[in-house]
Structure 1
Amino acid sequence: MLDGGERELSLREVFVQADAIRRLSGDVPTQDFALLRLLLAVLHDVLDGPQDTDEWAELWHSDDPFAGLPDYLDRHRQRFDLCHPTTPFFQVPGLTTGKDGVFPLNRLVADVPNGDPFFTTRFPGVQRLSFAEAARWLVHAHAFDTSGIKTGVLDDPRTTGGRAYPQGPAWAGNLGGVTVEGANLRETLLLNLIAPDSTQHNDLPTWRRPPDGPGTGDITHRPAGLRDLYTWQSRRVRLQADTDGVFGALLTYGDPLAPQNKHTVEPMTAWRRSRAQEKKHDAQLIYMPREHDPERAAWRGLAALLGADDRTAATAGGRPAEVLQPTLVHWLGRLENDGLLPDGKLVRLRTYGTVYGTQQSVVDEIVSDEVAMAVVLLDESDRQLTTCAVNAVSHAEEAVDVLGNLAHDLVVAAVANDKRRVQGDDKTVAEIARDQARDRAYGELDGQYRSWLAAIRPGGDPQELTATWQRAARREIVRLAEQLLTAAGERAWSGRMVQFKDGSERWVNTASAELRFRKQLNDALPYARPANTETGSDDSDA
């Protein structure tokens, strides 16, 4: 809540109190992503839109944009009933294996690691869930459930020997999810409420379709639109419950949805061209969702989120874009261009994702991050500030690489560069030192960049902003370099003759390593180069 508290609210209360809610706060971050899409599906269906930016603007300025929600929820009340005898919410009534038994809730709850239940507050497993918590995990399962062999159910033609064989993770598990967050949930819902380029007549949420049965439903020419997509039934589930809550869950595969070229439908992820998929499917052009790298903070991926692309090139016969921004970002750019959002308004781009392991049958990591920025950076008509922000990430990466080279050279100057086994790879001790220095540098620059980005405002001078960022980055990199130099030791100061991969030999010591570092840093951050530096020396930082 805006007052800092946390409350569990009903679906109706969420919309009624949207102005007082700061953000969703589920059991895991990916649950927030899944629940937001559920709320958006409800809102899209109530409004049957928005159809364009004009309709969106009316909602944005309305005193009560969610006025139609109570009546809508009353009309469809039974389809939102978690324990309804014939139409239970997001479930299949009568789903069975043909045998009685209780199915563990561990398969429904993503924060209980299969086989490794030690790093969880639910040790040794989940015995029972409240109805509200079970509802949240049910929505999450349809979005992020793992692949792997699952329980086979009766009347599902895919069942073989009592098993359902891998079909891939649930739909959102394929994505590098992106949403935009406003000052409260009301703003967040509206900012993510986009007008799609096209929608089929049968774009309906799952609660307005006939209840699913076991097996795959009729998914020809689907998803039909955002309402269909946001409530896609990737799984078939039946909760086992009594009057005190939920104590079991039968879960198996539902409707498959291949990720290839779904960029015209899915708005909440960036896309990358995949030549491997093009070769595999003998196709000219295939885009795949661009997943988040758990080792990279969100700001380091700004190029994929804000960088220029050309969505019309492929259809116009031009050269296809290698990367496509999320459609959501384009939508926000349209709102900004049309003057529907104030240039200085701050929003947060939030990222979500799941990293699966062992043939996508387990969850290894959950990715979640956010970056605050003014909406002027989303302006597609004047991209100077956007380009400045994206380029600043490249400048930081170059400077971090320079620090990594220094750490590498200092180790080479002191000891033989033997190899060691690190996380399944053979790396030399100097390469290990380089990786450690780079990781620390990114950690130190993280807060600096986020503060610099959030401070960009309309009318800012890109050159001055670049200089400000490069000076801040240089200070941090030089500070870390001085620590490395101080800790290098006498053997590095004395140095030794080193043979390089090209066959050349040269004497490497602390002095030569530092000289190389200063020159490379000047090249990486030219706007922060000291005024007295012409040949690579850098007395001002010494």
Structure 2
Amino acid sequence: MEENPQFNLVHDPWVSCLMIDGTIQTLSLNDFFLRSSSIRRLAGELPTQDYAVLRLLLAIAYRSAPDVDAADVSEVWGVLWRDQSQLTRMVLEYLEESREDFELFDAVRPFMQVAGLHTSSGKVDGVRRLIADVPSGHQYFTTRAGSGLDSLSFAEAARWLIHTHAYDPSGIKSGAVGDPRVKGGKGYPIGTGWTGATGGIFFEGASMSETIHLNLHLPSIAADVDGIDVPVWERDPLGAAEEQRVGGQPRPTGPVDVFTWPSRRVRLFPEKGRVRSVIVSNGDPLAIQNMDLDPMTAQRFSKPQTAKFRKAVYMPREHDPERTLWSGVGSLLIQTEKEASTDGEPVPIKVAPMILWVARLGELGAIDSSRLFNVRLIGAEYGTQSSVISEILDDGLAFHLSLLSDRSVTIRNVVRVAAAETEAAVWAFGRFAGELSRAAGGEPESQREKARQSVFFALNEPFRRWVSDLLGDEPGDVAAEWWNAEARRILKEYATELLAVAGELALIGRSVGGEFISAATAETWLNRSLRKHLPLKHEIEERERLRAVADLKMHRPEGAKR
């Protein structure tokens, strides 16, 4: 095996980028920050890889940013935003001072690895151990094949190394010599990489320079008054065992620590200019309960965990891979605990601090609140006791920053209600399709799910366009009326198509379990559900009129004249 070749992430190209001119280029860290205003976005092998690399780039930016007091964070950020070359200069200075920490194959402290890591058997794995899109036993679905699974370029290996720390599945790992947790030569599960346990949220600007600045959470930097929030490469070299912090420091110390959390112990083995084998062992576990130092994920209140620990417990809010936009819009648009909690009860969802921060910048005028920004949602879903990545999620929602303003509470509530009620209407549509199948003598469940997925897909883009058109100052009833009418129109079109092909048996109907079902009864039930979940203005007014009449009858004194 080749002995310690030179590959320095500061000077050698490894960051895969989509440039604004449409070309794909691989850049060093120096070139990335120098040319960040010409880069559209990252363009690695997977969205999760890009997100993991982004967090590393942010760790560098956080460490390079100026010291700031909590009272001045918005003003300082505004100065950096208006002249983005300032942060670039600071980053380049940091990288020059720290360049030795970024040697991928250093003999003593290889970047995010453990020098000399080995197993008692001397066994190593092939590089496919790092590649997340090679499901075990299911290589038909991989984006790499043949010789692409045998070795990695140094640039590829660097990207997959970072991804492994962030997203590596749980399960049994190679037992590293020197790790007291190893039993029988095996490292037993400690959970996935931290980032894999979260629903990643970040703002995407017109260039990577804007993206870095938009996700520069200066309140976290201001909170690090002792300067202890440092990345893994600034601490003592890792060993095979779990890291022990000096001086009783907390773990983690802040977002920089979290962004570069060493969830695994890794060693890359270079040979003839390529990486051809690796060792991946257990690293440091990170408890997910009440871990509120990651500004790029929302949190949800957990009743089971609260009962277990006998105190309020929040967990990272993961994205739903089937219905990301619908399930995630609440965590994007809930802004304050006052909005989210009632009567002192625990807040159901704690919004990602990054969302609150950018909303604050818009309120203070540091960012043009009329701009349309894209919020990206990145996540991974794991299967079989979190031992494999079963699905990777990449979604986004574009909206005007003004929608996050305190003045836009009404419209934000309209959007949240619309997302929840539209989802309920979709489930009702699924039941309608199932009832049509039952009426014809068929099996309902598969038809329900197929119908739900079809209409979720059909409603997806119209919902996004509606949200992106909102400025936050619209009358709430007008905005709700437009969306409810549009969603009902789409659902009715799909219902008409299903009725047209339902068949004669469904039209005639039949009795099932003492209940008569037919196409007509299914349609009647669907229309009632649409009026409930997606009501139009005249239906709301009629509902309120009938409720008022009922209340009047209820409170009329006995014997009073009609």
Structure-2-length-normalised TM-score: 0.86
Residue pairs, 1:179-190, within 5 angstroms? 179-190=202-213
Establish whether residue 266 from structure 1 lines up as the match of residue 294 from structure 2.
yes
The answer as to whether partners of 1:44 and 1:50 remain within 8 angstroms in 2 is no
Q: Which amino acid aligns with 2:477?
A: Q
Instruction: Choose from 515, 523, 526 the match for 2:524.
Output: 515
User: CA, structure 1 residues 403+40, in 2 after alignment: closer, same or farther (shift >3 Å)?
Assistant: same
| Distance (Å, rounded) in 2 between the aligned partners of 1:188 and 1:470 | 34
The answer as to whether partners of 2:169 and 2:388 remain within 8 angstroms in 1 is yes
User: CA, structure 1 residues 43+311, in 2 after alignment: closer, same or farther (shift >3 Å)?
Assistant: farther
| Distance (Å, rounded) in 2 between the aligned partners of 1:22 and 1:385 | 31
Q: Compute the displacement of 1:299 (Å).
A: 4.0
Instruction: Choose from 311, 319, 333 the match for 1:306.
Output: 333
Q: Which amino acid aligns with 2:255?
A: L
Matched residue, 1:43: 61
Q: Compute the displacement of 1:387 (Å).
A: 1.3
| SS of alignment partner, residue 252 of structure 1 | strand
Q: Compute the displacement of 1:278 (Å).
A: 2.2
Instruction: Choose from 23, 30, 52 the match for 1:12.
Output: 30
Task: Spell out, residue by residue over 1:501-536, the C-alpha distance to the aligned partner (whole angstroms, 9 max, x if none).
Answer: xxxx443322232233223322322227699999xx
Instruction: Choose from 92, 96, 99 the match for 2:114.
Output: 92
Task: Spell out, residue by residue over 1:298-343, the C-alpha distance to the aligned partner (whole angstroms, 9 max, x if none).
Answer: 24420122225528999x9932212211111111121122121212
The answer as to whether partners of 1:409 and 1:508 remain within 8 angstroms in 2 is yes
| SS of alignment partner, residue 370 of structure 1 | strand
Task: Spell out, residue by residue over 1:188-246, the C-alpha distance to the aligned partner (whole angstroms, 9 max, x if none).
Answer: 11111112353253111122111111111114511111221111111111110034121
Q: Compute the displacement of 1:430 (Å).
A: 1.9
Q: Which amino acid aligns with 1:304?
A: S
| SS of alignment partner, residue 76 of structure 1 | helix
Instruction: Choose from 357, 362, 369 the match for 1:331.
Output: 357
Matched residue, 1:60: 81
Residue pairs, 1:62-461, within 5 angstroms? 62-64=83-85, 65-100=87-122, 102-123=124-145, 126-196=149-219, 198-199=223-224, 200-219=226-245, 220-263=249-292, 265-281=293-309, 283-310=310-337, 318-415=344-441, 429-461=443-475
Q: Which amino acid aligns with 1:303?
A: G
User: CA, structure 1 residues 308+61, in 2 after alignment: closer, same or farther (shift >3 Å)?
Assistant: closer
Consecutive unaligned residues of structure 2, counting only runs of 5 or more, are 1-18, 544-562
Q: Compute the displacement of 1:98 (Å).
A: 4.3
| Distance (Å, rounded) in 2 between the aligned partners of 1:203 and 1:442 | 43
Matched residue, 1:540: none
| Distance (Å, rounded) in 2 between the aligned partners of 1:274 and 1:509 | 42
The answer as to whether partners of 1:356 and 1:362 remain within 8 angstroms in 2 is yes
| SS of alignment partner, residue 394 of structure 2 | strand
Task: Spell out, residue by residue over 1:400-439, the C-alpha distance to the aligned partner (whole angstroms, 9 max, x if none).
Answer: 2332232122223222x6xxxxxxxxxxx22332222111
Structure-1-length-normalised TM-score: 0.89
| Distance (Å, rounded) in 2 between the aligned partners of 1:533 and 1:409 | 29
| Distance (Å, rounded) in 2 between the aligned partners of 1:245 and 1:457 | 52
Q: Which amino acid aligns with 2:167?
A: F
| SS of alignment partner, residue 460 of structure 1 | coil
The answer as to whether partners of 2:173 and 2:282 remain within 8 angstroms in 1 is yes
Length, aligned pairs only? 514
The answer as to whether partners of 1:410 and 1:492 remain within 8 angstroms in 2 is yes
| SS of alignment partner, residue 160 of structure 1 | coil
Task: Spell out, residue by residue over 1:81-129, the C-alpha distance to the aligned partner (whole angstroms, 9 max, x if none).
Answer: 1112222111111112245454211211111112222221433672111
Task: Spell out, residue by residue over 1:443-493, the C-alpha distance to the aligned partner (whole angstroms, 9 max, x if none).
Answer: 100111111111112533322222221121111111101001111111111
Establish whether residue 477 from structure 1 lines up as the match of residue 513 from structure 2.
no
The answer as to whether partners of 2:326 and 2:423 remain within 8 angstroms in 1 is no
The answer as to whether partners of 2:150 and 2:276 remain within 8 angstroms in 1 is yes
Matched residue, 2:508: 494
Q: Which amino acid aligns with 1:172?
A: T
Q: Compute the displacement of 1:258 (Å).
A: 0.6
The answer as to whether partners of 2:152 and 2:275 remain within 8 angstroms in 1 is yes
Q: Which amino acid aligns with 2:315?
A: M
Q: Compute the displacement of 1:385 (Å).
A: 2.0
| SS of alignment partner, residue 169 of structure 1 | coil
| Distance (Å, rounded) in 1 between the aligned partners of 2:32 and 2:159 | 14
Q: Which amino acid aligns with 1:279?
A: A
Query: Once structures 1 and 2 are overlaid, which stretch shifts more, 92-101 or 50-59?
Result: 92-101
| Distance (Å, rounded) in 1 between the aligned partners of 2:530 and 2:339 | 39
| SS of alignment partner, residue 345 of structure 2 | coil
| Distance (Å, rounded) in 1 between the aligned partners of 2:515 and 2:111 | 71
| SS of alignment partner, residue 136 of structure 2 | coil
| Root mean square deviation of aligned Cα | 2.4
| Distance (Å, rounded) in 1 between the aligned partners of 2:511 and 2:363 | 60
| SS of alignment partner, residue 445 of structure 1 | helix
| Distance (Å, rounded) in 1 between the aligned partners of 2:270 and 2:117 | 14
Q: Which amino acid aligns with 1:245?
A: R
The answer as to whether partners of 1:404 and 1:433 remain within 8 angstroms in 2 is yes
Q: Compute the displacement of 1:49 (Å).
A: 4.7
Q: Which amino acid aligns with 2:264?
A: R
| SS of alignment partner, residue 23 of structure 1 | strand
Q: Which amino acid aligns with 1:495?
A: G
Matched residue, 2:549: none
| Distance (Å, rounded) in 2 between the aligned partners of 1:528 and 1:488 | 32
User: CA, structure 1 residues 167+229, in 2 after alignment: closer, same or farther (shift >3 Å)?
Assistant: same
| Distance (Å, rounded) in 2 between the aligned partners of 1:490 and 1:317 | 55
| Distance (Å, rounded) in 2 between the aligned partners of 1:260 and 1:455 | 37
| SS of alignment partner, residue 35 of structure 1 | helix
| Distance (Å, rounded) in 1 between the aligned partners of 2:509 and 2:391 | 42
Percent sequence identity over matched residues?
38
User: CA, structure 1 residues 49+144, in 2 after alignment: closer, same or farther (shift >3 Å)?
Assistant: farther
| Distance (Å, rounded) in 2 between the aligned partners of 1:519 and 1:533 | 14
Query: Once structures 1 and 2 are overlaid, which stretch shifts more, 226-235 or 299-308?
Result: 299-308
| Distance (Å, rounded) in 2 between the aligned partners of 1:20 and 1:224 | 33
| Distance (Å, rounded) in 2 between the aligned partners of 1:117 and 1:512 | 47
Instruction: Choose from 458, 482, 506 the match for 1:468.
Output: 482
Q: Compute the displacement of 1:347 (Å).
A: 1.1
Q: Which amino acid aligns with 1:469?
A: W
